[in-house]
Structure 1
Amino acid sequence: MTAIRLFHEHGYAAMSLDDIGAAIGMAGPSILYHFPAKADLLIEAFSRASASLSAARDELSTVTLDDLVAIYVGLGVRERLLFGVYVLEAVSLPEEAGQAIRRALDADIDAWTEALVEARPDLTDIEATILVHAARAVVNDVVRIGHLHERPTIAAELMTMVRAVLWTDLATTPAGA
């Protein structure tokens, strides 16, 4: 989506409907025919991404931790600009839409946490949640680095890094560190 690319390159606040319209060859106000406000462009893109996570989970008869990682890494690699915009611009979402999108993402985090606790019964729920957030942060950060995104093996490398985070032994973490 052109708007997401422009938000990624210049920032949400810096882009007007006229800028977006010019990039796609139409008058800026014409966008309002399809989207009532500029924020609706963000809402639509983020909603599609969170819905695709949910749909991919729902398509599997049995969901494993590796499945969840593969789905998230795949989305991140395909939608790296969207990930970048979400990390920086989620605060620009209207409150109600932001809460709905966060609920959908929280459901995905909950699925990861449940699958991690099943795979690693040595973890408490909070330890699993910490590891899940850390693992997803790896994806969120790495996919936004343009020159790394060009690596043909980036998805496999991310899968390896995410697994390493998820299987970190928290018991060996120094106390007070």
Structure 2
Amino acid sequence: MTTPPPSSSEQPARTRRGQAKAARRAELLEAAARLMAAGGFAGVTLEDIGGAVGVSGPAMYRHFSSKTDLLDQMLVDISQRLHDGGAEVVARGGDPDQTLLELIRFHIDVLVTKPDLIAVQDRDLSSLTPAANHQVRSLQRRYVEQWVDVLLALDEVSGDRLLSREEARVRVHATFGLLNSSPRLPAYPEPGLRAVLGAMAWAALRAE
């Protein structure tokens, strides 16, 4: 006997439930990032995270099987966001100098809007499960190579010098180190912070 498809009234209800679950998951991840950035992965419990958004301890397990599972999802999410955003910038095409500027702006936008996630990623990467660690590092490597490809294209077009791929990769990693330290910087107005970080990143990448 064939099961009839869900009625039109059931489908919106399921959609609403899915949207509500996704919204609550995002809320929990944001709270977790905030608490872990302040207290470290080891210093925060699932109950602490749930309590920050009014979710009971047992209800947390409807979203995450453990605190480590939550960390896995959080850092895979931010790594995927960086990789996909970088790919989108590169896919737009255009001159290499403009593409590199757009990559810098994109990265800074993530830093400024999600500083807690960047702080957790920088400090607690070693607490991931091996599978999530592998996935995060793979995404990070591919994100780096997006920048390296654009930097090498700009170097070739400008004719100033010809970087080796190894040197270009070192410059990109060093630039990420500079930018990703921004959550630990003294308080500074956001427009000025974006401008300072952007100028310093460009100078680091294109230094003679």
TM-score between the two structures when normalised by the length of structure 2 = 0.75
| Aligned partners of 1:7 and 1:15 also within 8 Å | yes
| Matched position secondary structure for 2:191 | coil
Match of 2:75 among 46, 55, 58: 46
In 2, distance between residues paired with 1:43 and 1:22? Answer: 20
Match of 1:129 among 169, 182, 195: 169
| Aligned partners of 1:83 and 1:144 also within 8 Å | no
Distance 1:146 1:5, change over 3 A: farther
AA aligned opposite 1:68: L
TM-score between the two structures when normalised by the length of structure 1 = 0.88
Give aligned-pair identity as a percent. 29
Match of 1:62 among 69, 78, 93: 93
> How does 1:89-128 map onto structure 2 within 5 Å?
89-121=124-156, 122-128=162-168
Matched, 1:153 2:188: no
Matched, 1:85 2:116: no
CA-atom RMSD, angstroms? 1.6
| Matched position secondary structure for 1:152 | helix
In 2, distance between residues paired with 1:113 and 1:83? Answer: 21
Q: For residue 140 of structure 1, what is the aligned residue in structure 2?
A: 180
Greater CA drift, 138-147 or 107-116: 138-147
| Matched position secondary structure for 1:15 | coil
In 1, distance between residues paired with 2:38 and 2:46? Answer: 15
Would you say how many aligned residue pairs link Structure 1 and Structure 2? 168
In 2, distance between residues paired with 1:67 and 1:151? Answer: 18
AA aligned opposite 2:197: L
In 2, distance between residues paired with 1:81 and 1:146? Answer: 15
Note the C-alpha offset of 1:42: 1.7
Distance 1:89 1:22, change over 3 A: same
| Aligned partners of 2:147 and 2:172 also within 8 Å | yes
Match of 2:205 among 148, 155, 166: 166
Note the C-alpha offset of 1:146: 5.5
Question: Structure 2, unaligned stretches of length 5 or more?
Answer: 1-29, 157-161
